[in-house]
Amino acid sequence: MLFFEGLSRTSNINAALIMTSTPILVTLMAFLFLKEHLRWIQSAGIALGLAGAVTLILQYRHSSGKPTAMGDLMVFINAASYALYMVRAKKLMKKYDTWQVIKWTFVFGLLLVLPFGSAGLLEVQWHTFTPAVWLSVVFVLIFTTFFAYLLNTYGLMHLSASVVSFYIYLQPLFATLISLLILQEVISSVQILACLLIFAGVYLVNLPSLGKAKS
């Protein structure tokens, strides 16, 4: 809910850049809730990544795509919530299969969304939907929601939450390319600065594990 509402209030590029902070937030959540050891270089990475997200939120007027501070904040809270989900879902994968986790995730998600979304659902004028709109709805439901969560949950069965979250790095690349080609958005200096801060933070957060892998 926060992601879609936030996306409607901010630019595609801002939303994608903020979502890139998820791997950093996964490391932070693992430290807070799983008591995993946090090295000083990871702490510096978390600080840099959060600084990048805060830069986008506070300097929204200088970003392209007509973003708002509230929209950016909603997307950031969504990223933090998703990071917590990835950390907690890892334990569930040791007891239940992918389909069980997905089923109950969406059942409880539906119960939570109904009080907020039922009024808007009743106001939808279904007869005005064009084939293109119906295809868009089906695409969101099947690919960006169902299969996205299914494949992420399946990945958690075989990989750590941090590794699964690494693939979010592809979001700003795809979102930027699509926004430039279809929506004619442009990249501002603030977005470039935030991108550098976030990616520097991600690199530092994962530097200890990269060093272990090389050794």
pLDDT of 78 over the 80 cut? yes
CA atoms of 31 and 95, how far apart (whole Å): 22
Task: Encode burial over 128-159: b for 16+ CB neighbours within 10 A, e otherwise.
Answer: eeeeeeeeeeeeeeeeeeeeebeebbbbbbee
CA atoms of 63 and 66, how far apart (whole Å): 7
Which of 5-19, 71-85, 165-179 has the largest mean confidence? 71-85
Please write the tens of the pLDDT for every residue from 112-145: 999 988 888 888 899 999 999 999 999 988 988 8
Please write the tens of the pLDDT for every residue from 182-210: 766 677 788 788 778 877 877 787 675 54
Global confidence as pTM: 0.68
CA atoms of 12 and 172, how far apart (whole Å): 9
Q: Domain locations in the chain?
A: 2-214
Q: What is the per-residue DSSP string for 37-77?
A: ---HHHHHHHHHHHHHHHHHHHTGGGSSS---HHHHHHHHH
Asked whether the beta carbons of 107 and 46 are under 8 A apart, the reply is no
